[in-house]
C-alpha cells in the first residue's frame, strides 16, 4: 500500500489509523491529529460523567476486529458494568486511547511505518504522483492518498443573530465551552433541543443550580428515550426492510412503517427504527434530490428525535428539571437575537404564531452538526472547494462523494486518492456519524485503500482539476 495521510484526530481518524496499521505494508501511515487528544475528538473529550453515550456499552467499539471490547475495558475501570449500560462518554474516550496505543505498540513491534503529527493540515495540493499536505507547522508531507476525517465543522452563527449579540460575549457558539464560563447566568436559553442541547442543559443545571433554563426549537421536541433494557427485535423486520427497499418514495415508506406498528400493538416502536439501521444508507441513496429535500424539511425533526435517542438517566434528569420548573421547553422559531448582554431572543410560538421576546444573560447555540462546506471558514475545506478538488453536496450535507468515501471533484469526476469518512459523507450516506457506522466504514476504507493504492506511485495528475 502507498503512503497515506489521515487528517483529523477524532474517533473516525483513530478507527482508520488502527485499521491501516494492522495491514501488512512497507508504506507509511501519517495521522494528522490537530491539537486534540488522539482519538477523542469532540464527542469523547468531555470530562463530565453525566455526558453519557447514547449507544449501549455492547454496541460501542473502535475496530471491527478489535483486540478487546469496550465492556471488558470499562469493567477494569469500574465495577458492575453491564453490556446494556449507557456509560459516560469519557470512558469510551479512554478506551479509544488505549486501543490506539495497543495498535501502535503492535505496529512498532512489526516494524510497520507510521507517523503522528499534532498539527493542523492547512492545504492539500495535488502533485504528479500524489498530494502534498501542508501542516500548520510549515512541514509538507508527500503522500499518495489523503483521507479527510475532520468531523463536523465549527458552528456558524444563525443568520438571525446580530453582530452586537455575537460581540457581547453572551452568545455561545460552542456548547462545550460552558465549563470555561465563570459567571452564572440568571437565565440561559439554549437554541436547539437535540442531543447536544440535552448535554448542555444537564451540564448547566449542575454548574449553575440557580439558573433558569429554557430550550427553544421549532417543534420543541427533545430526543425520545431508550428503553431501560433493549426492546425485543421486531420479528417481521426483514420483511419490512424488504418492503421499504422496494418502495421508492418517502410517503410510502412512512406508511409501511406505520402499518407495521399498527399490526403489532405489543411492539416497541423503537425496535422498528433500530432494525432499519442496516438499510438506512441504501434508503437514502434511493431518494431523489427533491425527495431528500422533502425529508429534510418535513420529517428530519421527528426522525432525529426517534433515531438518536437519549439514555434513560439523562431523560430522568431532564424530566426532573422540568418537574421542578427549572427547565422550560418552547416550540417556537427564533426570529432574532439582539442586544449587548443581556440578550433579547425574539421567538414566534409554533402553536399560535404569537411573537414574544425572552431575555437571557447567556444564549447557547446547539443546533446540531454543521457540514455546509460551501460556507465554512475551515481552512483546508475552503481550499479544497476553491481548487475544485471537492464540491459541496447539493443539500449542504457535506461533500459530494461516492458511498465508499471517494470524493467527487468540481468536474464531476472521482478525485483520485482523495477520500472522506464520517460526517462529511452525510449527503451520500445520511447516517454515518455514530461509532457502529464509523468503524464499519473505517474497516471497509482500509481494505479499499490497500487494493486501490498498492505501494508505489499513483499517477493522478491527469485527473486533477
Among 422, 442, 443, 446, binds ligand FAD (CB under 6 A): 422
- Based on CB atoms, which residue is closest to ligand FAD, 106 or 382? 382
Among 53, 147, 327, 445, binds ligand FAD (CB under 6 A): 53
Q: Concatenate the DSSP letters of all residues of 423-464 into one string.
A: GGGHHHHSS--SHHHHHHHHHHHHHHHHHHS-SS----GGG-
Among 1, 3, 5, 9, binds ligand FAD (CB under 6 A): 9
Nearest Cα to Cα of residue 149 among 61, 54, 41: 41
The 3-state DSSP class for residue 387 equals: coil
CA distances from 55 to 235, 237, 332 (A): 22, 20, 29
Q: Is 43 in the site for ligand FAD (CB under 6 A)?
A: yes
Q: Which residue has the cell 465549527?
A: 154
Among 11, 57, 204, 343, binds ligand FAD (CB under 6 A): 11
Q: Is 416 in the site for ligand FAD (CB under 6 A)?
A: no
Residues 6+ apart with CB under 8 A from 369: 152, 423, 426, 433
Q: Is 88 in the site for ligand FAD (CB under 6 A)?
A: no
Residues from 113 through 172 that contact ligand FAD (CB under 6 A):
120-121, 149-152
- The least CB distance from residue 400 to ligand FAD, in Å, is 18
Span near ligand FAD by CB under 6 A; candidates 27-35, 180-188, 248-256, 335-343: 27-35
The 3-state DSSP class for residue 328 equals: strand
Residues 6+ apart with CB under 8 A from 86: 52, 53, 54, 55, 56, 57, 226, 311, 312, 313, 314
- Based on CB atoms, which residue is closest to ligand FAD, 202 or 380? 380
- Based on CB atoms, which residue is closest to ligand FAD, 42 or 116? 42
Nearest Cα to Cα of residue 118 among 3, 8, 4: 8
Beta strand pairing call for 187-191 and 212-217? parallel
Among 423, 425, 428, 445, binds ligand FAD (CB under 6 A): 423
- In eight-state DSSP terms, residue 52 is B
Among 54, 280, 367, 409, binds ligand FAD (CB under 6 A): 54
Q: Is 334 in the site for ligand FAD (CB under 6 A)?
A: no
What is the edge-to-edge ordering of all strands in the sheet holding 145-148? Answer: 114-117, 29-32, 4-7, 145-148, 414-420, 406-408
- Based on CB atoms, which residue is closest to ligand FAD, 1 or 384? 384
105 burial type by CB count under 10 A (0-12 exposed, 13-18 middle, 19+ buried): exposed
Q: In the numeric block, which cell numbers belong to residue 173?
A: 457558539
- The least CB distance from residue 53 to ligand FAD, in Å, is 4
Q: What gap in Å lies between CA 36 and CA 68, rounded to an integer?
A: 24
Q: Is 384 in the site for ligand FAD (CB under 6 A)?
A: no
User: Binders of ligand FAD: how many residues, by CB under 6 A?
Assistant: 31
Q: How far apart are the first and last CA of the chain?
A: 25
Q: Which residue has the cell 432494525?
A: 275
Site string for ligand FAD, 259-288 (x = CB under 6 A): ------------------------------
- Based on CB atoms, which residue is closest to ligand FAD, 12 or 337? 12
- Based on CB atoms, which residue is closest to ligand FAD, 18 or 422? 422
- The least CB distance from residue 274 to ligand FAD, in Å, is 13
Span near ligand FAD by CB under 6 A; candidates 10-18, 201-209, 252-260, 391-399: 10-18
Q: Is 8 in the site for ligand FAD (CB under 6 A)?
A: yes
Helical packing angle, 89-110 and 11-21, nearest 10°: 30
Span near ligand FAD by CB under 6 A; candidates 11-19, 208-216, 255-263, 312-320: 11-19
Residues from 169 through 208 that contact ligand FAD (CB under 6 A):
196
- Based on CB atoms, which residue is closest to ligand FAD, 254 or 273? 273
- The least CB distance from residue 215 to ligand FAD, in Å, is 16
Return residues touching ligand FAD (CB under 6 A): 7-13, 32-34, 36, 41-43, 53-55, 89, 120-121, 149-152, 196, 380, 422-423, 433-435
Amino acid at each position: 500500500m502507498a503512503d497515506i495521510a489521515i487528517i483529523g484526530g477524532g474517533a473516525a481518524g483513530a478507527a482508520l489509523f488502527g485499521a491501516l496499521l494492522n495491514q501488512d505494508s512497507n508504506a507509511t501511515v501519517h495521522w494528522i491529529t490537530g491539537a486534540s487528544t488522539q482519538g477523542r475528538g469532540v464527542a469523547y473529550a468531555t470530562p463530565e460523567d453525566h455526558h453519557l453515550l447514547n449507544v449501549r456499552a455492547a454496541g460501542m467499539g473502535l475496530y471491527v476486529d478489535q483486540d478487546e471490547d469496550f465492556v471488558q475495558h470499562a469493567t477494569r475501570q469500574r465495577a458492575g458494568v453491564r453490556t446494556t449500560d449507557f456509560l459516560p462518554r469519557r470512558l469510551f474516550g479512554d478506551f479509544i486511547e488505549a486501543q490506539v496505543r495497543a495498535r501502535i505498540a503492535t505496529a512498532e513491534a512489526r516494524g510497520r511505518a507510521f507517523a503522528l503529527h499534532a498539527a493542523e493540515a492547512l492545504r492539500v495540493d495535488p502533485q504528479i504522483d500524489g498530494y502534498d499536505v501542508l501542516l500548520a507547522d510549515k512541514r509538507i508531507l508527500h503522500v499518495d492518498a489523503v483521507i479527510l476525517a475532520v468531523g463536523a465543522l465549527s458552528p456558524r452563527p444563525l443568520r438571525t443573530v446580530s453582530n452586537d449579540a455575537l460581540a457581547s460575549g453572551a452568545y455561545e457558539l460552542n456548547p462545550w465551552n460552558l465549563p470555561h464560563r465563570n459567571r452564572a447566568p440568571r437565565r440561559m436559553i439554549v437554541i436547539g433541543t437535540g442531543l447536544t442541547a440535552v448535554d448542555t442543559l444537564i451540564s448547566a443545571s449542575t454548574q449553575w443550580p440557580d439558573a433558569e433554563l429554557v430550550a427553544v426549537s421549532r417543534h420543541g421536541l427533545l430526543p425520545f428515550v431508550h428503553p431501560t433494557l433493549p426492546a425485543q427485535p421486531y420479528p417481521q423486520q426483514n420483511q419490512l426492510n424488504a418492503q421499504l427497499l422496494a418502495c421508492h418514495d418517502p410517503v410510502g415508506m412512512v406508511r409501511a412503517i406505520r402499518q407495521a406498528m399498527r399490526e403489532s400493538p405489543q411492539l416497541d416502536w423503537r425496535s422498528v427504527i433500530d432494525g432499519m439501521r442496516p438499510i438506512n444508507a441504501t434508503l437514502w441513496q434511493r431518494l431523489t434530490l427533491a425527495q431528500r429535500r422533502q425529508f429534510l424539511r418535513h420529517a428530519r425533526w421527528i426522525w432525529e428525535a426517534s433515531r438518536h435517542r437519549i439514555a434513560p438517566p439523562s431523560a430522568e434528569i431532564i424530566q426532573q428539571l422540568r418537574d421542578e420548573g427549572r427547565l422550560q421547553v418552547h416550540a417556537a422559531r427564533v426570529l432574532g437575537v439582539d442586544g449587548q448582554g443581556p440578550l433579547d431572543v425574539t421567538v414566534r410560538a409554533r402553536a399560535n404564531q404569537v411573537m414574544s421576546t425572552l431575555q437571557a444573560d447567556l444564549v447557547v447555540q446547539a443546533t446540531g452538526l454543521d457540514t455546509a462546506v460551501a460556507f465554512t471558514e475551515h481552512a483546508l475545506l475552503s481550499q479544497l472547494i476553491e481548487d475544485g478538488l471537492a464540491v459541496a453536496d447539493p443539500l449542504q450535507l457535506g461533500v459530494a462523494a461516492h458511498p465508499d468515501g471517494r470524493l467527487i471533484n468540481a468536474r464531476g469526476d472521482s478525485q483520485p486518492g482523495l477520500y472522506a469518512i464520517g460526517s462529511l459523507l452525510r449527503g451520500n450516506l445520511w447516517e454515518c456519524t455514530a461509532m457502529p457506522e464509523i468503524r464499519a466504514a473505517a474497516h471497509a476504507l482500509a481494505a479499499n485503500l490497500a487494493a486501490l493504492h498498492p505501494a508505489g506511485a499513483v499517477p493522478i495528475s491527469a485527473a486533477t482539476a
